[in-house]
A and B are shown apart, each in its own frame.
Chain A
Amino acid sequence: MSVIRLENLVKRFGNFTALKTMDLTVADGEFMALLGPSGCGKSTTMNMIAGMERPSGGRILFDGRDMAGVAMGRRGVGFVFQNYAIFTHMSVRQNLDYGLRMTGRPGAEISSRTKAIAEFLQLTGLLDRPAAGLSVNILQRVAIGRSAVMEPAIFLLDEPLSNVDAAFRAVMRTELKQLQREFKQTMVYVTHDQLEAMTMADRIAVMDHGVLQQVGSPLQVYNDPANVFVARFIGAPGMNLLKGRPVETPSGLAVDLGRMGLTPVLPAPLAAAARGANGDVWYGFRPESLHFAPPGTGIAREVSFVERIGARTIVHLGFGEDGFKAVFDRSSGLTLGEVAHLAPEPTSVRLFDAATGVALWGI
């Protein structure tokens, strides 16, 4: 059982700072997803936890024990590589029991544990096949099994599903979650796919440009993004953000959305938060929270593009900075060029300081 603590963790490569002072605690048995676009520092963080990279500053603690001088082979972490790093000159069995053999476990234990993990990952029939030439989906399982068989207290996965096909990805999401429930490891899962993070993680750490943006449960980061980056990054499509200016109206504080031709009044808690802001704000709302409004009460925009994705429809309204998106279940009935009148659900509205991008909490 292990708690991972990152304290003021910094990583520089020459002049480039890959990670700027990161603080994060991953609780015992927690499934933490490090989520962010390419180059945000999530893999670097992971490599430092595993001991493959040396931090330029700060500390990594496992259960309060500083890992600074501990070599990567002695940290007791399981690691699944993005490209799997399968030992292709060995059989599936030799891959699975590699760690057990190298650490000198007794033969009976090796075979029973290998058998168990092979059964769990449905690899039993493939045990004596050479690993070279197996499909990516199988290699994926072997890579996970090879680490899981060691029953590490900490399990690190570096984008393990990025190379497998969509259908198998869905299967593996479920299996990984099951695996974690069974072995109760502390899991850190690096991904750029928010769907993976949202479906599997207990908490998500959103990162960008080497800076930790927000840590929270999947619903927290979805509902209450800490800043503009998280708001745009989480959700498909991300949150709509319209530039506005807070103005006092007879019915309370409202946001003048300028060219959008609308000055929606803010709900009381948000209004209180917005009063603290100096200057412009971002008026944010989820594409899923839009509903049709009578003409004159909503935002009137021309439909510029309609994407139909199976059951869902994404409607693009307006262009450029004034543009936003709406998501409807099934067809929206809107057609290209038509003017739509839409209004966001007042409870779904979020405000961000336009200068800093930081959320103005008012919930």
Chain B
Amino acid sequence: MSAAETLHDVAPMSPGKEAARLGFRLTLPAQILVLFISLFPLLMQLYISLTDWSPLAGTSWPQAWAMWNTFANYTDLIGDDRLWAALGRTGFIMAVCVPVEFLLGLGLATLFADDFPGKRVAYSILIMPMMVVPAVAGYMFYMLFQSGGPVNDLLAHLTGAPVTVAWLSSPTLALAAVMVADIWQWTPLMFLILLSGLVGVPEDQMKAATLLGANAWQRFLTIALPRMKAIMVIAVAIRVIECFKIFDTLYIMTGGGPGVATETISVYIYKITTGDLIWGYVAAIALAILVVLSVACLWAMRRLAK
């Protein structure tokens, strides 16, 4: 049989299908790697979350089935007040910090869309907080908010009376201090993203709107805002996700305290992971959060796509 005949015998494959098949084969190693990285830990987590396994159990994790408890971890989770409080606190921090960062960032971006003397220097200074390692930022604010620290000194100077507010030891003030640090560090990111959106608004359209009689506020609402919508969504989404994970700066400043006053979901998970070592329960919390967040994200994206 000649080669030509052999080729003829094979059922012709459509070019698209063939390309897809080739693509699948070529990316197979990468796919296996991705599966290993993402799917394996997920399955492992699911497995452990259905047991009472702990590193102190004396067995390695594959033997965790010996401590199988079905959904006990998940039912515990529903009744865990500390978890719900931590979630609520995280939500509160998000609800305050993200809008404040957004509005400050937008205001600054609007200022920086026009030229003014010293703009470059101001720009560099404004961007700097973002470059600071969060742990260092945490240390900075830890020092600033000491009862003998610069914040109290400044307040004393302004009021003329000695001020000894124990910022980080008061439950409410500690939460405020933590939020100030977050706003200080992450407003620049918001500013940077929003500025890039604002700069992308065509200048001619702004001029055209001006010549048609639109005032600055109308121009912002009708020309700049619609063009920035996508980038605003991205900016807010990045900050919402980051804010939900808030940990390092906060942990150095307060360690989640006083008591549990600044304990966010990350801090709570960290504490029960390293302190209580109840890894089956931790796995259940982590997985539940992942599922809830994924569903929320999907819903939000669907809404925005409309």
Chain A residues within CB distance 8 Å of chain B: 50, 52, 71-73, 77-79, 81, 83, 85-87, 89, 98-99, 102-103, 146-147, 150
Contact = CB atoms under 8 A, between A and B. Distances in A.
B70 interface: no
A50 B215 CA distance: 16
Interface stretch (B139-147, B200-208, B295-303): B200-208
A83 B207 CA distance: 12
Kindly list the 10 A-B residue pairs having the minimum CB-CB distance in the complex, ordered from nearest.
A99-B212, A85-B204, A102-B214, A85-B208, A103-B213, A73-B210, A79-B211, A89-B226, A85-B205, A102-B218
Contact of B211 (A78, A86, A87, A89): A78
A73 B205 contact: no
A147 B213 CA distance: 10
Contacts of B214: 73, 98-99, 102
Contacts of A77: 211
Contacts of A150: 212-213
Contact of B207 (A52, A86, A89, A99): A52
A109 to B, nearest CB: 14
A73 B213 contact: yes
Given A89-B226, A98-B222, A81 B210 contact: no
Contacts of A146: 208, 212
Main secondary structure of the interface of B (DSSP, over half): helix
B121 to A, nearest CB: 22
A130 to B, nearest CB: 12
Contacts of A98: 209, 212, 214, 222
Contacts of B218: 102
Given A52-B207, A98-B214, A147-B212, 13 more contacts: A72-B210, A73-B214, A78-B211, A79-B207, A81-B204, A85-B204, A87-B205, A87-B222, A98-B209, A99-B214, A102-B222, A146-B212, A150-B212
Contacts of B227: 89
A73 B207 CA distance: 9
B153 to A, nearest CB: 46
A84 to B, nearest CB: 8
Most chain-B Cβ atoms within 10 A of its Cβ — which of A50, A86, A102, A150? A102
A146 B208 CA distance: 10
B145 to A, nearest CB: 45
Nearest to A75: B211
26 contacts: A52-B207, A72-B210, A73-B210, A73-B213, A78-B211, A79-B207, A81-B208, A83-B204, A85-B202, A85-B204, A85-B205, A87-B205, A87-B208, A87-B223, A98-B209, A98-B212, A98-B214, A99-B212, A99-B213, A102-B212, A102-B213, A102-B214, A103-B213, A146-B208, A147-B211, A150-B213
B266 to A, nearest CB: 39
Contacts of A147: 211-212
B222 to A, nearest CB: 7
Contacts of B211: 50, 72-73, 77-79, 147
A306 B214 CA distance: 55
A252 to B, nearest CB: 58
A355 B120 CA distance: 51
